[in-house]
Amino acid sequence: MPGGPAQVSERDAFARDAFATIAGLKEVRITGSEPLRIAGQQGHQIIADAKDASGAAALTVVQWLRFGGSAYLQMVGIARAEAWKDAYPRFRSVRDGIDPK
């Protein structure tokens, strides 16, 4: 997507704003938010616990933003909390397999 924060210091707030646009989540509680490098580019990761839209299923959600030039890429992975341990490494493999064009 075009845009993104001009300053590195603005990335956490930008990532939290982007995370808030993920539909279908209730009772969101961010458990981690940190900068990281993704495929050699600046990025930001947020991990949160949430409930599905019905409020019945416990979920864990990860959002990665990768920044480059005047654009950013948002990647989101969502799994039931009990499946998170197995799902997270697969989500990371997908994230790391995306190459910018």
| Cβ partners under 8 Å of residue 99, min gap 6 | 39
Cα 44 from Cα 28, distance rounded (Å): 18
Q: How many residues does the chain have?
A: 101
Confidence label for 84 from pLDDT (cuts 50, 70 and 90): very high
Q: What is the pTM of this model?
A: 0.93
Highest mean pLDDT among 6-15, 34-43, 83-92: 83-92
- Domains belonging to the chain, first-starting first, are 8-96 (3.40.1000.10)
Q: Which helix (H) or strand (E) holds 94?
A: helix 84-96
Cα 92 from Cα 82, distance rounded (Å): 18
**Residue 88 backbone dihedrals phi, psi, to 5 degrees:** -60, -45
